[in-house]
Structure formats: C-alpha cells, structure tokens
Structure 1
C-alpha cells in the first residue's frame, strides 16, 4: 500500500486541502471507506467510526463531500504522481464503470447502453482512468457520462450542481477526454490503453494521434481498416474488416508469454501478429497505425484486436500493455467495490467526484506493493 492510514492526513495526497479541518475529514472519510463492511454510505461509515467523532459525524462527512469547497483534481493528480514515481513501467487504462441505480435523482442516471456488457442498464455510466502496473491497479481519475436528458434540463442541472462548462459527449468523446486530461496535466506520458470498443475508431484514434499520445484502442473484427504495406494480403483492396486482415496474416504470428492475473496457470501463451494499417474509409495519407491481433486458439478467429500507435514497441510489448490493462478488469474493479466506487448515494455532481476521489485513494491504500517488474515479464519501453 502507498502508506499506512495513521492519525494524521497524508501530507502529499491531501496537501491541496488548505484547511486542517478539511484534511482531518478527508482522513476520516478514508478510514470509513476502508473500515466499513458492505455499502459505503455516509450513514454506514459514520456508524463504523464510533469513537472517531461525536454524534455529528454523519452530518459532518455529508457536508464535506457534498458542500465543501475542496477541489478533487489536485488530489487525483497527487495520487497519479505518487503511483507513477513508484513504478515507471505502467500504462494508463481507460475502462467504463456502470453504476446501477434504482432511483432517478442521482446525477447522470438514465437508461444507458454499456458496450462492455452488450446491454442497457438503468444507472450511471462513468469512465475511469486506471494506473496499471505489475501487481497494482488503481483508479486515478474519473469522468461521468452526462446524457442529454440531464444537460438539456436546466432544473436538473441546477439541482445536481452540474457546471456550466459541461457539454454533451458521446461515449468515445468521454473516454478520449479522460485519456487526454490527467496525464497531460501531470506530465506522466505513458501509453493509454482504451479498453472500450469505440463506435468511431477512426475518429478516436485520429484525436489521440494528433495529441501525440501513445495508445492502444480495442476494436472489433468488423472495424474497416486498410492494409498499409503493399506486400500484405488485401493491400490495394481498400478498407477490409480487421478480422479478415488478421486471419490472412496469422501465419506471421509469433508466440508471446504473459503472466495470467488470475494465476491459473501462472503464465500463459498467445499467438500475436502486428501489421501496419490505416483507419477509416478515407485512410489515404494518414499515418499508419498497428493492427494487433491475439489468438488463444490458432484454429479460431482472433480473441482480441487492437489499434495501436506506440513508437518503438514490439508486438510482444504491445500485448504486455493490454495484459496490464486486463488486470483492471480482473482485480481492480473487485477491490473497487470493496472501497465503494459504486456506493455514492448523493445527488450532486461535485459530491460524486469527491467521493470517487477518496474511494480511489482508499483503493491505492488497499493494494499491496507490487513485485519487482523483472520477475513478471511485462518489460517494455517507450520511444520519444
């Protein structure tokens, strides 16, 4: 874990909270997230903190999250910087987090389609930016998707305290805005793995390329791509489905070994192939990307397809980055549930962000220190 939860506030993570009472309440809320069994509501956390405060603890914590003036962005930036300093060999992983809700008053609640689930849910949909390294996954930033039904309703906006700058974004735009935000503000330039199937992969990858951000973006086998090497099968035929391009070159694939986050078995082997392509139907003149395919069974179609732009990275290194992001799906979110990532019961936009910030800190506190990178085989480099 980053550091023990002692009697005083974290000097680095909570340094932006200028008032001592705010830092004390942040520490108290953090203890509640870590100590409370079950749902991490303010009421439940206050009950688990008997002896930590007087009878006004619940009201005090509620006010600290929903109505206080402290900013959540500096805390998230301090958390990201602390993690990046400890393990430079990491990626930033973007992943959707559906938050089911029974009611209609929580900010952003609607009937929403979640691509990763392949179905609609009633609730909130957020995108998390996760620090992903060997042995550790930790969320460091969040972006709540706000449907038009909230942004176009002045009364709802006012009640939820949605800032005037908030405008409608589709899911791709929401994911990309998150990927481009905190890493740029903190100067922690690392590959971004978008574990989100884009509706418009050409536009998404073009935005990231223009920002000069190294990335891997998950795609489907139906994504139209153009072979960029005239020696490849399908070159000159125009846009073809990504799955078809990869099936034509699977004979060029090479085995790559990687540690299974589930540990069953400890190490696994996939076949990987990487070819240069251009994205979209008007791909002429655009800088080539890399289409990465992974097979767990050579007799079947690829089990995962990615578009990548990470200068200097081999196919094996690219696969390693996707496996770091896969840790988020395997163990990051389960621990996230234990520290309350889905448990905020308030209705306001600032309150949701403050809760998610402290739940992210609790997640980092709850994660054991990772093993040395050289023991697990995820080594990769990033060229300038």
Structure 2
C-alpha cells in the first residue's frame, strides 16, 4: 500500500480480525482495539482507493509457496443479507441457509492438499437484476465495466488471474455440470476432476458415428451416432468392476470406499457444440465426440452409486489419485467455516463493491494455511 495512513489502518484492521470477539464488523473491532477509530477504519475499507488485486496476487504467491497445492478448488459462498442496497444482493440460492433467500454470493478459488488449504481469489457475483439498475449500481459503487457474468465465467477469470502453475482443478456439480466450463479448462491446458450430475448424458467409449447416405438436394448429411445417449447412472451395471480405495485418515477413522473408472463420450447439445468448434464448425466436424474419464463411487453397503466425477485426465491415471483429488474439495468447507467463525468473513456490514472486496482481501491476508 503506497500511503503511510493506509498501512497504519490496514494493520489496525488486521489486528481487529485476529482478536477474540463475536463480531468482526468495524464498530465492535474499533471498540476492542486500543488504537481503534471507527471513522478511520470505515474510510480505509469502504472509500480508500487501494487496489486489492495485487495484494491478492502476492498473498497467493506466498501461500502456494508454503503448501505446494495439489489442487485448486472452485466454489462459491453466500452471505444472507437484509434489504436490497448491499452490492450484489438478490433473492437467489443461499448455501448458508440451504434455500432461496436474500443474499450475496462470492465465487472463490482455494489451494489445497490433503493436509492444508487456503483461499487464493474471490469475485462477487452480480445478479442479472443489477445489470441495468443504474441507481443501485451507482449507490453501491459498481464499476461501469462490471455486468452480470455467470459464476463459471467468473471462476475461469479467477483461475487465469495469476502466473502460478495451475494444478488439478476440482469443483462440485454446480460447476462440473457445465460442459462449457470443462471445455474452457481443457483449452487452457488445465486438468480437472469435477463432480457431475448423474443425469448428464454420454455414449460408450467404443461408440462410432456413421455417415448417412446423401439423399438429394441440399447440404450433405452430417455424421451421427446410431444409438441415443444415456444418462451416466445407466453405465453402472452388475458387471462394473469396483476397486476399494482409501484416500485419507479422517476424524472417525480411515476414509475408504469403492470406485470404478470408465471411459465415456459426453453428449448432449452443449457437448456436441463444443466438440464442433475446434474442428472449424459444424460442416467440418467428423462427428466423433471426445473421450473423457468417469469416476464413480458406490460404497459396499449402497444399492447404487453415490458420486460421479468427470475428468479430462487419461483413464489409466491411478484410481487412488483421482479419488484423492476429487475428495479434496471437502477442504473448502473447512476454509469457509474458519474464515466465517474465526475471521469474520460474513460480518462485513458495508454495502459497496469496493468495501466488500477490501474486506475479503484483508480476511485472506490474515489466513494461515489450515492444517
């Protein structure tokens, strides 16, 4: 931070986040701090023009150097809010409450291993109703260039925000069900293991398209598959071979389950469209959908699978590695819990775009890699 007063109040705000106390909003922090000044802290967080992006980049470099992450986890966290003035607030699904409610949603990327994790990047999701509400945008200080962008596109921007080497990317089905998102990661050379919806459709690995005979005037008929795509859950039969895998030691003992690995060809309109684009368009496409690796979990005492993950890693990747990476997504729940309960991630009471980004950056600055 370039100015002495910014550094002073930044250090003061960080101490306030670390001190014991139920609330980590500005007024109670200022009252607990011997040198606290509510007006100065308000100005530092909500109005001071310091840039948060370079601060986060530096934090990410230092934290990744400490824990050497095996995966980056993509997810989002919600903050229930009253009223309509706080930036990005809308009635939408709120994970904190498990239902639709008035809330803010922030997309995040975290670095993780089996034994440690820490947040790297954040971006506020701006609902569609905010895109054209100029009065609300002006009051909340939303920059003119910021509009409504899907969470998957926000996540892609966060992943590309650093010059760090990107390891395997993992996410829940909220992101994994987007074929566009998975394809965008592949185009950038990033590997992933993402949870997917069992109702997503695919074809067998050995399925081949055929070229129908030309039947008269008009453009040639495009290659097509003879059989219809099937949902992923139909790929698991009594003959499917499962392997028992242990991926970590949990608080209640060893975490073990059965997993199967299959090769499939994701299908459907979005998968077909994304497969056509690299070929130069619909007319140049040979009709072959790409192979992907499907990881399926079915515990021994379960009557059907309990989890599905799609990956662009080859099918001969060690099953233990696929399982370990897929299961590392759990660490983000530990991060959110510690950031909320210990550092006041959800205690910010300001309403502005700048204030929200400043607060989550300062909370991240006080994070120590959780082990």
Q: Shorter-chain-normalised TM-score: which range?
A: 0.7 to 0.9
Report the counterpart of residue 264 of structure 1 in structure 2.
252
Shift of 1:187: 2.2
Report the counterpart of residue 88 of structure 1 in structure 2.
68
Distance 2:99 2:62 in 1: 36
Distance 1:310 1:68 in 2: 45
Shift of 1:300: 2.3
* Partner SS, residue 149 of structure 2: coil
- Work out whether residues 107 and 154 of structure 2, in 8 Å CA contact, stay in contact via their aligned partners in 1: yes
- Work out whether residues 125 and 151 of structure 2, in 8 Å CA contact, stay in contact via their aligned partners in 1: yes
Match of 2:356 among 346, 352, 358: 352
Report the counterpart of residue 326 of structure 1 in structure 2.
330
Distance 1:140 1:198 in 2: 18
**2:229 paired with 1:239:** yes
The 1:89–1:250 alpha-carbon spacing in structure 2 relative to 1, beyond 3 Å, is: farther
Report the counterpart of residue 21 of structure 1 in structure 2.
5
Q: Which moved more, 1:17-26 or 1:142-151?
A: 17-26
Please, what TM-score do these two structures have when normalized by structure 1? 0.81
Please, what TM-score do these two structures have when normalized by structure 2? 0.83
Shift of 1:137: 2.1
Match of 2:142 among 158, 162, 169: 162
The 1:318–1:249 alpha-carbon spacing in structure 2 relative to 1, beyond 3 Å, is: farther
- Work out whether residues 96 and 196 of structure 1, in 8 Å CA contact, stay in contact via their aligned partners in 2: no
- Listed as ranges, the gaps of 5+ residues in structure 1 are 1-16, 371-384
Shift of 1:117: 7.0
Deviations, residues 154-194 of structure 1 (Å, cap 9, x unaligned): 1111111111221212333333333x333xx2222211112
The 1:118–1:218 alpha-carbon spacing in structure 2 relative to 1, beyond 3 Å, is: farther
Match of 2:26 among 4, 24, 42: 42
The 1:89–1:131 alpha-carbon spacing in structure 2 relative to 1, beyond 3 Å, is: closer
User: What is the root-mean-square deviation of aligned Cα atoms in Å?
Assistant: 2.4
- Work out whether residues 192 and 313 of structure 2, in 8 Å CA contact, stay in contact via their aligned partners in 1: yes
- Listed as ranges, the gaps of 5+ residues in structure 2 are 209-224, 276-286
Match of 2:260 among 273, 281, 287: 273
Report the counterpart of residue 183 of structure 2 in structure 1.
206
Distance 2:154 2:323 in 1: 25
Distance 1:326 1:112 in 2: 23
- Work out whether residues 69 and 111 of structure 2, in 8 Å CA contact, stay in contact via their aligned partners in 1: no
Q: Count the aligned residue pairs.
A: 337
Report the counterpart of residue 45 of structure 2 in structure 1.
65
Shift of 1:124: 0.7
Deviations, residues 337-380 of structure 1 (Å, cap 9, x unaligned): 1211111111111110110011112232xx55x4xxxxxxxxxx
